[in-house]
Amino acid sequence: MSFVEKKIYSQAGEDGVIQGIFKLIGLTNKLCVEFGSTGACDNTKFLRTKQGWKAVLFDRTPTSPKTHAEFITAANIVTVFKKYKVPLNFDLLSIDIDGNDYWVWKALEGGYRPRVVIIEYNCNFPLNVSKTIK
């Protein structure tokens, strides 16, 4: 199966790729969790507005009343998920917090189990170079 980039609300064609992945693996609870959710170019907006998915959205400075105002860090992510009753298993997690994405994802290790994860990366670094923020 080939995955076709399709940009409806996403920044770089993620809408089509996400559709292709879930067509292949199926759905469980149609729940997505996204942080770094601006309301405009979100990875989950197509799912929420056109596919009937439920969502838990977070952003440091939300522009939508549907988005919870939370500053997500590796130290608080589990507490924030518990506060908003994010289940341990759900279909999609999208992390876009400009810098500490890796550490936040690592902090969820062993507890929360999204079936598909989207993590932003910085394309200014070559693919063969591994970098994280301390």
Is residue 126 in some structural domain? no
Tell me which residue range forms the domain holding 115.
Answer: 27-119
pLDDT tens, N- to C-terminus, the chain (134 residues): 556 767 666 676 677 788 889 999 999 999 999 987 665 568 888 888 889 999 999 999 888 888 999 999 999 999 999 999 999 999 999 998 877 888 999 999 879 999 999 887 777 778 787 777 77
Q: Hey, what are 16's tokens?
A: 């089509």
User: What pLDDT, on a 0 to 100 scale, did the predictor assign at position 23?
Assistant: 92
pLDDT for position 37: 63
Residue 130: what pLDDT? 75
Give the helix/strand (H/E) hosting 77.
Answer: helix 77-83
115 closest CA partner among 50, 54, 25: 25
**CA-to-CA distance for 3 and 17, rounded, in angstroms?**
5
- Does some domain include residue 42? yes
81 within some domain: yes
User: Is 53 contained in some domain?
Assistant: yes
- Residue 65: the pLDDT is 87
Is the distance from CB of 14 to CB of 20 less than 8 angstroms? no
Which of 100, 96, 38 lies closest to 67 in space, CA to CA? 38
Residue 111 lies in a domain: yes
Would you state the pLDDT for residue 54? 96
Q: What angle do CA 88, 121, 74 make, to 5 degrees?
A: 45
In a domain, 34, yes or no: yes
The pTM score is 0.87
**Count of domains observed in the chain:** 1
> Which pLDDT does position 133 carry in this prediction?
73
Distance in angstroms (rounded) separating the CA atoms of residues 81 and 107: 12
* pLDDT (0 to 100) of residue 62: 86
In a domain, 14, yes or no: no
Sign of dihedral through CA atoms 22, 23, 28, 30?
positive
Within a domain: residue 7? Answer: no
